[in-house]
Amino acid sequence: MAGVPSVADAKKSKKKKVAHVQLTGVKSLDKVFKPLKKLDKLVTKAQKSRRKGAANINTALGLRKGTSMNAAMKHLRSQAQGKVRVTMQGGTPQLKATDALPPNIAAGVEAANTAIQSYAESVASLAKVPKQANKLVKQAQKMPAQLKSDLLSNPTQAIAIARNLGVVKDNIKAAVQIPKRATKVTKNLNKDLRLMVTTFGGKWPPI
């Protein structure tokens, strides 16, 4: 019916938009927020990398959009008919065809290798993010009290201080989520890496 929201629309409306750290333009505040913003971007980049890798594998194999990594790897293995094995290149597992493959299956292997490389790099880049973010969050959490103190001692700057206080509070809310987001995406990346590599007889982590 026209005008009646669907179940899909309802789910979309419930999905919260991820908040991100913003710079304030104040040097003393951005000394903390600049590195937090960098960590925030690292997590977002890893999340995008995971989505892109999965989408490229499905496209190469001619699978439906949103097909799970598990289903995609099962399809690739069945179509490869034992002609794909795992090799190591620079410490990272890669899939290698031992015989000629149909074009779409060869493309699927190539897409999987690109994803493996990208995912492994993302996992490495996120390794220290939770600890670094937690340390910076503790510093940021002291800012509101300092700004309120500044407001009392310098009332002529009330508007600027009040604006900064709002941004600081929003940034703290976003920053607190960075360690959780980093941990979650790392877990999902490792899960996908394990699927891609073990499906063809390899190990993840490789050591």
Enter the pTM of the model.
0.86
Stretch among 17-26, 92-101, 108-117, 184-193 having the lowest mean pLDDT: 17-26
User: What is the CB neighbour count within 10 angstroms for residue 82?
Assistant: 10
Per-residue pLDDT, averaged over 170-185, amounts to: 97
CA angle 117, 122, 128 (to 5 degrees): 140
pLDDT at 149: 78
3-state helix, strand, coil in the chain (%, to 5): 70, 5, 25
Tokens of 165: 């206080």
Tokens of 191: 């899960």
User: What is the CB neighbour count within 10 angstroms for residue 172?
Assistant: 18
Per-residue pLDDT, averaged over 86-108, amounts to: 96
Interacting residues of 51 by C-beta distance below 8 A, sequence separation 6+: none
Question: What would the pLDDT profile of 20-76 be if each residue is shown by its tens digit?
Answer: 999 998 888 999 999 999 999 999 999 999 999 999 999 999 999 999 999 999 999
Task: Report d(CA 118, CA 174) in Å as an integer.
Answer: 25
Tokens of 98: 């031992």
